[in-house]
Amino acid sequence: MSVEFALSEEKRAKIAEIAGRYHDEPDQLMRIMFDVQEASGNGIPREAALIVSDVTGIPISELYGYITFYSMLSDQPRGKYVVRICKSVPCHVRGSRGIYDAIVKTLGIQPGETTRDGLFTLETCECLGLCVESPAIMINDKAYSNLTPGRVITLLEKYQDGEVE
């Protein structure tokens, strides 16, 4: 399922406001990118990057360097909830494959895909920094650890039902 970016006039104004808030602080580029991604709908479309470039004076090539280097940023539209599952050795040894299988089966998607309703995008990552509490996943900016397949299914259902934001 492909999710499309649609930047309304309101979203464009919000992106310009975010970029303007930090325009004198180039060291805040990551904060700008995260805030713009949230305002754009969980991804940074070219139009949003161009607005940031115009307001801050940061070259578009530098912005794309950040967007494409950091896995928490994306120039592709994603679901409302981005589910990241750790595929590092500590998580694997402690059962992340069962978590992965439960997520794939429950959502009906593979890594890099988005559910038909646009609610979830599944991604894998190398490490979430939760090795002691593995297996772990993140949903947007919230980490969940010490998971079992049953717990992860219940968690996804809570997100689907709007019980967790």
Please check whether residue 103 lies inside any domain of the structure.
yes
φ, ψ for residue 86 (rounded to 5)? -75, 135
- Of 69, 103, 121, which residue is a domain's last? 69
Q: Are residues 103 and 57 in the same domain?
A: no
Domain span including residue 42: 9-69
Last residue of a domain, one of 20, 43, 69: 69
78 contacts: CB under 8 Å, gap ≥ 6? 3, 42, 43, 114, 121
Same domain? For 152 and 122 the reply is yes
Q: Do residue 45 and residue 106 come from a single domain?
A: no
- Residue 74 inside a domain? The answer is no
**For the segment 129-165, what is each residue's pLDDT rounded down to a tens digit?**
888 888 999 999 899 999 999 999 999 999 999 888 7
Model confidence, pTM: 0.77
Write down the pLDDT at residue 3: 52
CATH of the domain at 151: 3.40.30.10
The confidence score (pLDDT) of residue 92 equals: 84
8 Å CB contact between 77 and 45: yes
Instruction: Please indicate, yes or no, if residue 36 is contained in any of the structural domains.
Output: yes
